[in-house]
Structure 1
């Protein structure tokens, strides 16, 4: 049994809680922290959590906490990780690791110095289709990987803090391309060094300071190209697609928007359909098991198995740091309009 402190009681914290309490059954959230009393109390009531607080340290430094799960805005990842290191608590954090590589490296060094378990919750590297594709690629069936493209687009984030660049650290690129970069990096090979990035980014629709649309190319030492396409301006729901081209084969994946499950409803609609769905009537595209299809169950299984077995999970703080470094180069390239080194 894993006893978990949940930091954050919002949208992603609830997604995590649904998976944590429903997956192995024996894992339980024993404390929850939120910046507001109402959110903390409601989360505790909804998930039968015995202790709630608006004091982050109080949520972490408890005898009934084995591991801390961070589901907070980006600007709070660093102080939360430093608190876990202070109290020698295992930690796993949502993406991105930091708002930039400097923060990511600070967190990586902190957990290494404290000697604590640290997992990077990159759920889209645990989806059923991703895991099957990665296994196929690692078997050599596609030959040499030449190009890996990943796309994530939707109408925009669900929480106000995403729109504040000081809290988020960036716009659609930091929010979404962190997924895409790590997906492509897995397909190309984590042992292959990313060398440089070329990126276009702009604010096309949203009334914000940060970018709402970006496209980037990452060149790797093997000669492979990783490509990301991200947007907060896409209408029609959440679009998650990957494509991999090798010298001996190709993989094409549609993870979410059009998966073969289609439904037409008139009148009042169906209520919640799927994450970022824009309509609950007419032709809609529900997801059979959203938590499973988005990789949460496999992700937490890997995290807890790794914790129990004393090994690293498939996605680590180092991976999160590399992603931050690639995205720092992407942001610089968007300004200089040149290839920028990682």
Structure 2
């Protein structure tokens, strides 16, 4: 029987989920909730139930689980209420705006006996899965340097500029991917973190950072750099791993794709002239259908969760420590305790106690 999934949110990432779910027989997208656009979204994707309030979705929709594709400040209230209603939870990264809310989410799902998984799609991206398999096979020897870059020119929705809604800037938004990916690739969590944050392009729109460089030191001495940016026109999504026997570079943003050239002048083709790199099956290349199928398998007990709520809690802890390092100018030893309601409070000022 297919997992009946309710979707909280109807923005860009919710559309990615809807597209991905159509490719996964093990998942049936049954309901969607959004205060303004649920009905239109449901009509577009053939979803039978639409609600203008996520609370109604939890109370009335015939669902087994929810996927939270809403702003970060809603992750905790939706997940906690879903757990109380006996629904499994797939939550977009970051788990919450800060560690206190994230801990509440994990505890609520543990008490209710429901699965809490974090939607870290890059762990399911075929190119990165293949890169990790090559590392595990020993092609490079024991890796000692890893670099992961997540970058674009800025968010797709206005709420990202509001730190009360996000918990931070590019670091908590994009850096969550990189921290999760390098930690999983190295098979360990880092021992310490240092970070430098900047405001290059978007200081007029947000007090948050739009560029972050994070350095992670792992047990045994391996080093990783995670670069997260809202200030990189053209974007990037790449992984580099170095070991004593070789070097690996996986450029997810540039392939697999089709090289397309358009002549200048009018014509039936849309877009500017020149060479273009056209990705195909983008949702699959970035791991979204695979992630949904795995979530259904984990709920059914057919697989152990690849990235659990506790894993996402650990990533958020590292991000909080990175903000603290950026404020103090010194490395921060892990584990790191935080009572700040927003991760960025460790950078903008003294955290709450």
Residue 28 of structure 2 corresponds to residue 28 of structure 1:
yes
Query: What's the secondary structure of 2:242's corresponding residue?
Result: strand
The answer for the alignment partner of 2:280 in structure 1 is: 288
Contact 1:194-1:220 at 8 Å conserved across structures: yes
- Aligned residue number for residue 240 of structure 1: 237
Secondary structure, in 3 states, of the residue corresponding to 1:256? helix
Partner of 2:199: 203
Query: Who is 1:4 aligned against?
Result: 5
Change beyond 3 A, Cα 1:160–1:291: same
Q: C-alpha separation between the residues in 1 aligned to 2:132 and 2:279?
A: 22
Q: Shift of the alpha carbon at 1:121?
A: 0.6
Give 1:114 deviation, angstroms: 1.1
Number of aligned residue pairs:
329
Question: Alignment partner of 1:327: what SS?
Answer: helix
Q: Taking structure 1 as the reference length, what is the TM-score of the superposition? A: 0.91
Q: Tell me the distance in 1 between the aligned counterparts of 2:9 and 2:211.
A: 27
Larger displacement relative to structure 2 (58-67 or 170-179)? 58-67
Q: Which residue of 2 aligns with 1:180?
A: 178
Shift of 1:22: 2.4
Q: Aligned match of 1:225 in 218, 223, 226?
A: 223
Task: Tell me how far apart the structure 1 counterparts of residues 71 and 255 of structure 2 sit (CA, whole Å).
Answer: 29
Once superposed, which parts of structure 1, at least 4 consecutive aligned residues long, lie more than 4 Å away? Answer: 268-271
Alignment check: 8 A CA contact 2:325 2:332 kept: yes
The answer to whether the Cα contact below 8 Å between 1:270 and 1:281 also exists between their aligned partners in 2 is no
Paired with 1:328 and 1:280, the residues of 2 have a C-alpha distance of 41
Does the Cα contact within 8 Å between 2:31 and 2:61 map onto a contact in 1? Answer: no
Distance 2:70 2:134 in 1: 34
Single out whichever of 46-55 and 253-262 deviates more from structure 2. 253-262
**Residues 134-164 of structure 1, C-alpha deviations (whole Å, 9 max, x = no match):** 2222233333221211001111110000011
Change (3 A) 1:87 1:260: closer
* Higher mean displacement: 212-221 or 100-109: 100-109
Note the C-alpha offset of 1:187. Answer: 1.1
- The within-5 A match list for 1:132-211 is 132-189=130-187, 192-206=188-202, 207=204, 208-211=206-209
Deviations 1:47-104 (A, max 9, x none): 1222111221221234620111110000000001101111010110111111122222
State the partner residue of 1:274.
Answer: none
Greater shift after overlay, 140-149 or 293-302? 140-149
Distance 1:251 1:70, change over 3 A: same
Q: Deviations over 1:296-324 (max 9, x none)?
A: 12111211122222543211111111110
Given the alignment of the two structures, is residue 264 of structure 1 paired with residue 264 of structure 2, yes or no? no
**Selected match of 2:250 from 238, 249, 253:** 253
- Across the aligned residues of Structure 1 and Structure 2, the Cα RMSD in angstroms comes to 1.7
Check conservation: 2:294, 2:303, Cα contact below 8 A. no
Q: Secondary structure at the match of 1:228?
A: strand
Contact 2:257 2:278 in 1 (8 A): no
Structure 2 CA distance, aligned partners of 1:73 and 1:203? 22
Tell which deviates more after alignment, 66-75 or 193-202.
193-202
Q: Secondary structure at the match of 2:207?
A: coil
The CA distance in 1 between the partners of 2:185 and 2:47, in whole Å, is: 39
Superposed displacement of residue 111, structure 1: 1.0
- Output the CA distance in 2 between the equivalents of 1:260 and 1:32: 32
Question: What residue ranges of structure 1 are gaps of 5+ in the alignment?
Answer: 272-278
User: What is the alpha-carbon distance in structure 2 between the residues aligned to residue 17 and residue 52 of structure 1?
Assistant: 14
Q: Deviations over 1:169-219 (max 9, x none)?
A: 111111101001111001111xx2321111000111112210001111011
